[in-house]
Amino acid sequence: MQSRSRWQSAFILTGLLVAETVHSAPTSTQEATTSFKTQYPPSAANARLLVAETQGYYPTILEREGHQLQKPTPDPKEDPYRFGGFLNNVYNPVSLLDDLLPGILPATSEKPATSPVATPAPSAPLHSQETINGPAETTPSPTTAPNSISVPVSTSSSSTSSVVSQPAKTQDTSTPIEPSPSTSTSMPTMVNGQDVFVPVSTGPIPGTVKSRNDHPVPRASIMNNTDPIETNKFYAGLFLGTQTNTTFTHPYGIAWAKGNGNAKSYGIAISHIEVDKLALGPKNDKIPGSPVQYYVNPIGIQSIILSATELKDSTVLMTENPLPFSANAVLQPQSGSSERITFPVVQGMGFVTGIYSNLQPVIQSSVFFSKVVSAGSPRAGIFKYTVDLADGTQWLLYLTPDDGKDPNLHLESTTNLRGPPGWSGTVQVAKNPSGTLGEKLFDNSSGVYATQGWVKGAVSGETGTYSLTWGKEGKDKGGTPLMMYALPHHVESFDKTTHDRLTNITMRTTTKGNATAVIGESWSMVEQNLPVGMGLAPWSVSAGSVDTISPAAQKVIIDVAPTELQQDVGNQSNLNSMYFSGKALSKFATLVYAVDKLGGKPDLAAPALKDLKTAFARFIDNKQQFPLVYDNVWKGVVSSASYDGGDSGADFGNTYYNDHHFHYGYFIHAAAIIGSLDPSWIQGNKDWVNMLVRDAGNAATNDPLFPFSRGFDWFHGHSWAKGLFESFDGKDEESTSEDAMFAYALKMWGKTIGDASMEARGNLMLGILRRSLHNYFLMEADNKNQPPVFVPNKVTGILFENKVDHTTYFGANLEYIHGIHMLPLLPASPYVRSQKFVKEEWDALFATNAAAPAEHVQAGWKGVLYANLALIDPVSSWNFFAQPNFDYSVIDGGATRTWYLALAAGLGGA
């Protein structure tokens, strides 16, 4: 029914628009007098010297800035908290990119790039036997609101006008990820539930944390703004380093051309990559199905460039009004010029829009124009052109002059389409994958553009609702509908009202399947079956929270626990790393909880709880090896490790805002357990823990000290880990399980301190994560959003905005790649990792006759694998950890045998 309803809605809407019997905005009774005129590029003397740049570059190198070659699973046998020497199999094949394009790897603002570790060179793009060669001339570098479709990744162009809606696949029989039922009424207003965006505080931070004004990355190329900056959001390439790396809005990518390419332009280049341009890594024959190691989209393709005659080598790019879902990219002929082009850069924007102020527009292409047609006016005052490029793609241009006069663009060459001097108005660009039917929909929304976005959300019972609302400007904005693109996880969860506004236009995104165009300024999404009853005890979909385990299991746990209770939490957490220190505190907190509540021995746990509080106090007092500082440049709390000439990769790049949701999530989780066991501890420590919440997952948009939701991206449905490092491939995420850990930590800390909004926010984030991880990261056999040749890998490895690489930053062993998406094993693990997925992954990779049998894995990763096994086979997991003469070397320094036994028991293992 959902499929039929969606198709009928799109068909009726398209048909009426094509027939011009319905309009969403007033239309002129008389079309503008612009005549339909076709222009072809004149022949040029140098035409044979230039080749259409249709291939781009393939950045296969794993950029290691901010990532030391260090595993996130320390070995307790080493001093004080490191893994032993089994990092012996890190691959390091020759990189094709470095051979082809020496010297173009991006560097941080202050230091040259550290030596990258190469990944194997890609195969040719899909359905192509050509050698990958970069064009010789191009050198790119790398909020809260105010008061299921599954599209296959085909082997041909996957941007299409056909839409077939399917119900979302269930994760397993007991934990369905449900699409919002399209036959129901629209979602209830969110004021009926608990608002998830009530700030914990916007006041001062604890006095033990001192401020500094000398962050290693200066705050450059950002206009008139002293507010907190979103360090981990999609548009950081606009202001970091060379400022030439792509900003991925999905489905479009935009980048400052900065004099590169055939057009030698200084405008903003627009690209959209079809599946036939993908390059694939080598096959891994060890894994069933022989999946490719990675796939990568090309960068540097300049399909359409919005520029101006005045933009030359003195041009500057500035970022204006950076917000959670948007920022303005501003090009000026010189610094301080009043003439400018402003590009509102918004996630999911349907058009790329340039707002010109007193400049002569030049619309360019390094792919080459083959034909430009002046195509009349969809409404009075808007002038339309259709553009055919040499690669066979068709694009639409819509110009809206402030003076209402025909701009009469002139095609001067294969690269330049020039307008009148001193021009002010908007130029909009859209790629049209859908022929005449799609063109009418673009016409209908031309003239208006998104300017920013807001999110609001609420939880009522086990149902979460959230909305994304888009600001809109442009001609006739009151009556002209906005067009935006939604990702697959959005479409699956749309309520009926939003679902009915889906169109039949789909465009491929770089790493998230196909985006679908939606008409309207607001989307509403529904997440059912939130884990509101989940607590600190083991949890399963079928049994819920399991607070009591069998006497036999209790006895085993209490017999085992003293060995680990005697470990020195003070020493294990006294490290030069917030990440490893947080893991140690979280580890001991789960150990104490397991003995106290599940083992029923609070007296046995009491000394370790006291030591845990003492160890935690070191951080409250800011007396750790590298104290935290408040960074007054970008606005956030960071490790001092990389200041004063320190390594940018120290503590996994914490000073540069890498991985804050991982690092601080472990502290928040530990605090939630301590506070639940001893409520008197909360009052003296709450402000410090809430400081970490504000830094990594702030609910406030008006906090003067921290940005909104630094890590978690409410558009993408998961967090981004990369901070202030320039990157060819945009932001990335390596550990989905630690992402879920952060959401779970927020939930539990909120519950512990009585903050209902924070608890609800954690629950909603977990619900959204479960859906987005299922769609993009944890790939079941029927996954439709990743290329079929990649799906048998089962997990993505590192998912970037531009590529997906089945590896890690610290090595390529299968237990590393998959284990980093498992740890830490917590009550939330069975919620976000479906039984169907876990079984497919285990059978393919870690079962006895699989690619990397768990019984042969060494050191702490072995414990991680067998703890994960409890999600589908708790008996075998229990038997592994309960065996006599247990080898503790298989328990990594961030976990305990005691907790793993408790987890397996709670899931039915004993």
Give the residue numbers annotated as catalytic, written as ranges: 659, 734, 738
Of 836, 898, 879, 717, the residue nearest 171 (C-alpha): 836
Of 454, 443, 455, 450, the residue nearest 472 (C-alpha): 450
Question: Between helices 874-882 and 860-869, what is the axis angle to 10°?
Answer: 140
CA dist., res. 880 & res. 561, Å (int): 16
- Tokens matching residue 904: 């397996």
- Tokens matching residue 470: 């888009």
Question: Between helices 736-753 and 682-697, what is the axis angle to 10°?
Answer: 140
CA dist., res. 352 & res. 367, Å (int): 18
Decide: 585 and 620 in contact? Cβ < 8 Å.
Answer: no
> DSSP assignment, residue 697?
H
CA dist., res. 730 & res. 76, Å (int): 35
- Tokens matching residue 598: 């599940």
CA dist., res. 281 & res. 793, Å (int): 12
Q: Give the β-pairing of 463-474 and 522-527.
A: antiparallel
CA dist., res. 404 & res. 262, Å (int): 32
Sheet holding 483-486, edge to edge: 483-486, 514-519, 502-508
CA dist., res. 856 & res. 846, Å (int): 9
CA dist., res. 489 & res. 485, Å (int): 12
Question: Is 640 buried (19+), middle (13-18) or exposed (0-12) by CB count in 10 A?
Answer: buried
AA identity, residue 543: A
Torsion angle (degrees, nearest 10) of CA 174, 179, 185, 189 = 90
Secondary structure (H, E, C), 851-883: CCCHHHCCCHHHHHHHHHHCCCCHHHHHHHHHC
> DSSP assignment, residue 95?
P
CA dist., res. 656 & res. 672, Å (int): 27
In sequence order, which residues have a C-beta less than 8 Å from that of residue 874 and are 6 or more positions away?
Answer: 904, 905, 907, 908, 909, 910
Decide: 319 and 337 in contact? Cβ < 8 Å.
Answer: no
Check the CA dihedral 258-261-267-270 and report its sign.
negative
Decide: 725 and 63 in contact? Cβ < 8 Å.
Answer: yes
Q: Give the β-pairing of 522-527 and 326-332.
A: unpaired
Residue 679, preceding peptide bond in cis (omega within 30° of 0): no
Check the CA dihedral 216-60-102-304 and report its sign.
negative
Helices then strands, each counted (H, E), the chain: 19, 35
CA dist., res. 876 & res. 839, Å (int): 13
Q: Calculate the alpha carbon distances from 130 to 127, 134, 158, 279, 368 in Å.
A: 9, 12, 21, 11, 20
**Residue 620 burial (CB count, 10 A):** 16
CA dist., res. 221 & res. 845, Å (int): 47
Residue 368 backbone zone (phi > 0: left; psi -120 to 50: alpha; other: beta): left
In sequence order, which residues have a C-beta less than 8 Å from that of residue 770 and are 6 or more positions away?
Answer: 171, 177, 831, 832
**Residue 246 burial (CB count, 10 A):** 27
CA dist., res. 877 & res. 887, Å (int): 15
